[in-house]
Homo-oligomer: A and B are copies of this chain.
Amino acid sequence: MELHVKKNASSSQAHQNRARMLISCPDGPGIVAAVSHFLHQHGANIVQSDQYSMDPKGGMFFMRIEFDLADLEQRLPELEKQFADVAGKFRMDWKMNNVSRKQRLAIFVSKEDHCLVELLWQWQAGDLDAEIAMVVSNHPDMKEYVESFGIPYHHIPVTADTKKEAEQRQLEVVGDDIDVIILARYMQIISPFFIEHYRNRIINIHHSFLPAFVGGKPYAQAYDRGVKIIGATAHYVTEVLDGGPIIEQDVQRVSHRDDVSELKRIGRTIERVVLARAVKWHIEDRILVHDNKTVVFNG
Binding site for B on A (CB under 8 A): 3-4, 28-34, 36-37, 39-41, 43, 45-53, 56, 68, 113-114, 117, 121, 125, 127, 144-145, 148, 209-213, 225-229, 231, 245-251, 253, 255-257, 265, 268-269, 273, 292-296, 299
Contact = CB atoms under 8 A, between A and B. Distances in A.
A255 B49 contact: no
Contact of A50 (B43, B50, B225, B245): B50
Contacts of A268: 125, 127
Lowest 8 A-B CB distances belong to which pairs? A299-B299, A226-B293, A33-B40, A33-B36, A212-B212, A47-B56, A29-B45, A228-B249
Number of copies: 4
Contacts of A293: 225-226, 256
A177 B148 CA distance: 34
Contacts of A33: 33, 36-37, 39-41, 46
A211 B209 CA distance: 10
A249 B246 CA distance: 21
Given A49-B51, A56-B47, A117-B121, A225 B209 contact: no
A130 to B, nearest CB: 15
A290 to B, nearest CB: 9
Contacts of A226: 245-246, 292-294
A29 B70 CA distance: 13
A273 B145 CA distance: 23
Interface centre among A36, A117, A127, A210 (most CB of B within 10 A): A36
24 contacts: A4-B145, A29-B40, A32-B36, A33-B37, A33-B46, A37-B37, A45-B56, A48-B53, A49-B49, A52-B256, A52-B257, A114-B121, A114-B125, A121-B121, A127-B268, A209-B209, A210-B227, A225-B246, A226-B294, A228-B247, A229-B251, A251-B251, A255-B296, A299-B299
